[in-house]
Amino acid sequence: MRRAILSVSDKTGLVALGQGLAARGFELVSTGGTARALADAGLPVVNVSDVTGFPEMMDGRVKTLHPLVHGGILARRDHDEDLAAARAHGIGLVDLVVVNLYPFVETAATPGVAFPDLIEQIDIGGPSLVRAAAKNFRDVLVVVSPEDYAGVLEALDREDGPTVAFRFELARKAFAHTGEYDTAIASTLADVSVEGEAFVREAGEVFAPSRLHVDARKIRDLRYGENPHQPAAWYAVGEPATGLGAPQVLQGKELSYTNLLDLDAAARIVLEFDEPAASVIKHTNPCGAATGATIAEAYVRAREADALAAFGGIVGLNRAIDEDTARAIVSTFIEAVIAPGVDEAARAILAAKANMRVVVADVRGLGETGGAAIWRRDMRSVLGALLVQERDQVVEARTAWPGEGLTVVTKRQPTAAEWQALGFAWRVMAHVKSNTVIFTDAVRTLAVGAGQMSRVDAVKVAAAKAAGWKLEEGQRPLAGSVAASDAFFPFRDGLDAVAAAGATAVVQPGGSVRDAEVIAAADEHGLAMVFTGKRHFRH
């Protein structure tokens, strides 16, 4: 009779697996709650203590750490010496180990958990079982995820049994499982301090731990990076994978490195809005962003904000794609679109553009204040180092303006319509590369001056784009708009350029040594100007 050892914290699918193994002639050996669950389902179970001759002891700390268990797992079937040792010592061979570990990660994330309770969730016997079985993968199947239960039963039914390749893949998963577990423990304990005889752990998840361990699992190799001579790959980070770490690609050509950067940029903009919102991205900058009563209206507004630049762009939506939106998208050339869903009726319409990538990824909630630190981090490599920061969010614009923290510094107050437009502009502006000045109305961008070396140049680029690059002296292509600047105006010349373009109100962080000069210029032009006290650079 073949023997299986089962000891799982996550009991999803356990009974069905036990039934399947019993039906295939396996003796089930188990511990604690796993044994009870199998017995309650009417399955014959041998307790590990009956195998070892020792009871579980020390509050369950010692259960499976015994030669009669590990000898049965580690014995190599093609080594006569191993088999002779097993016979001499009465060691029964083990053919299958099914283990997942104590819920350390879940316990560590529990607010206010006591340090002794946390320590008790460090599994010892479980990782030992997993590593032993994975080391001897040619002879012992090791399973650490309920997702693999069905595949294991199917493999056991093969005429020649599970293949070596199948066994090795399970072993790789097993070592990754224990590796992630140890990484989680090391990361958590890195920020535990000792005060006298007490161990003190910071409340909640530490944003920037003393040692940052990043677990990344490859999704796929990419054809190349930003340029054909650069190798590239796509990884998912965090557990469970979500957002662009767990996308559903419905159609289209293979996603490229730059596609993914642009999809991320597109999604970040629309996440700023609760109402239907759309963005159209080129080279990580928005050529257009807009809101609307429907997602279709928002998309058309965003596209038409700069229809020339939108050609071949990347689209981000914060609502599922419906029929009207799908028709609007396929009416021009779009490289890729990301949305939280796609209606069935819309799929057929989008399919007419076979090469267009359609990506379903629900990124809503990622990075929210109070969420898991992994999603609130932005990480970037520099030569020889890794930089980590909290993801920038325009929280000061989440409520209708005027709101707290805003200061009107000019003689003229913004009108109600200007306030609405300023709030929209401020949210979008934070997602444009610095230096930037953008012009909008209350629901759409009108011109984007992105990534310039001076703020005056950013204004001039935006104004020239709005005028179709035929800006003439005295022309005011953005009359009646509002402007947003990601950082303060260091001189009045930038503010003068904003007024010359036609804006009637402007929002900026403030904080320049020449603020008084800039405020005076705004008053001269009759502009209303609001200081937020918060900068939003994007490098």
Please determine, for residue 339, whether its predicted confidence score (pLDDT) is greater than 70: yes
The CA–CA distances, whole Å, from 1 to 90, 132, 290 equal 15, 21, 67
pLDDT value of position 283: 95
Would you call 433 a catalytic residue per the annotation? no
Query: 526 pLDDT exceeds 70?
Result: yes
Judged by phi (left if over 0) then psi (alpha if -120 to 50, else beta), residue 384 lies in: left
Res. 200: pLDDT tops 70: no
> Which range is least confidently modeled, 7-21, 96-110, 220-234, 361-375?
361-375
pLDDT over 70 (residue 167): yes
3-state secondary structure of 374: helix
Single-letter residue type at 8: V
**Which residues, in sequence order, are CB contacts of 376 under 8 Å at separation 6+?**
207, 367, 368, 369, 390, 391
Compute the average pLDDT of residues 434-445: 96
Spatial contact of 489 and 508, defined as CB atoms under 8 Å apart: yes
Residues of CATH 3.40.140.20 domain(s) within the chain? Answer: 250-360, 400-531
Taking only the tens place, the pLDDT of each residue in 455-474 is: 999 999 999 888 877 766 76
Q: Which CATH architecture has domain 400-531?
A: 3-Layer(aba) Sandwich (3.40)
Report helix, strand or coil for 185: helix
| Cα(478)–Cα(462) distance, integer angstroms | 9
Stronger pLDDT, 101 or 250, i.e. the higher one: 250
The more confident residue out of 372 and 44 is: 44
Its CATH architecture, for the domain 250-360, is 3-Layer(aba) Sandwich (3.40)
Q: Band of the pLDDT at 371, cuts 50, 70, 90? A: very low
List, in sequence order, every residue forming a beta bridge with 400; answer none if it has no partner.
none
- From the candidates 173, 213, 283, 433, give the one annotated as an active-site residue: 283
- Judge whether residue 204 has pLDDT over 60: no
Residue 42: CB atoms within 10 Å = 10
Catalytic residue among 135, 173, 213, 534: 135
Query: Strand 505-508 vs strand 528-531: parallel, antiparallel, or unpaired?
Result: parallel
- Do the bridges between strand 313-317 and strand 334-339 make them parallel or antiparallel, or are there none, so unpaired? parallel
218 an active-site residue?
A: no
In the numeric block, which tokens belong to residue 287? 């050529």
- Give the pLDDT score at 488: 95
Q: Mean pLDDT lowest for which of 69-73, 186-190, 437-441, 523-527?
A: 186-190
Distance of CA 492 to the CA centre of its chain: 41
How far, in Å, are 217, 421, 433, 435 from residue 538 at the CA level? 27, 21, 5, 8
Task: Say if pTM beats, i.e. exceeds, 0.75.
Answer: yes
Q: What is the Cα–Cα distance from 329 to 316, expressed in whole angstroms? A: 11
Report the SS3 class of residue 448: strand
Average pLDDT on 149-161 reads 90
Q: What is the pLDDT of residue 365?
A: 66
CA torsion, ordered 165, 167, 170, 174, to nearest 10 deg: -120
- Closest by Cα among 530, 453, 449, 456 to 491: 456
Distance CA(111)–CA(274), nearest Å, equals 29
CATH class for the region spanning 2-194: alpha beta
Mean pLDDT score of the chain? 88
Tokens of 473: 């002296």
d(CA 293, CA 389) in angstroms, rounded, equals 35
Of the pLDDT bands very low, low, confident and very high (cuts 50, 70, 90), residue 217 is confident
Average of per-residue pLDDT across 478-503: 95
pLDDT tops 90 at residue 201: no
Burial degree of 90 (CB within 10 A; 0-12, 13-18, 19+): exposed
Per-residue pLDDT tens for 259-270? 999 999 999 999
Grouping H, G, I as helix, E, B as strand and the rest as coil, residue 408 is strand
**Which residues of the chain does CATH 3.40.50.1380 include?**
2-194
- Examine the pLDDT at 312 and tell me if it is beyond 80: yes
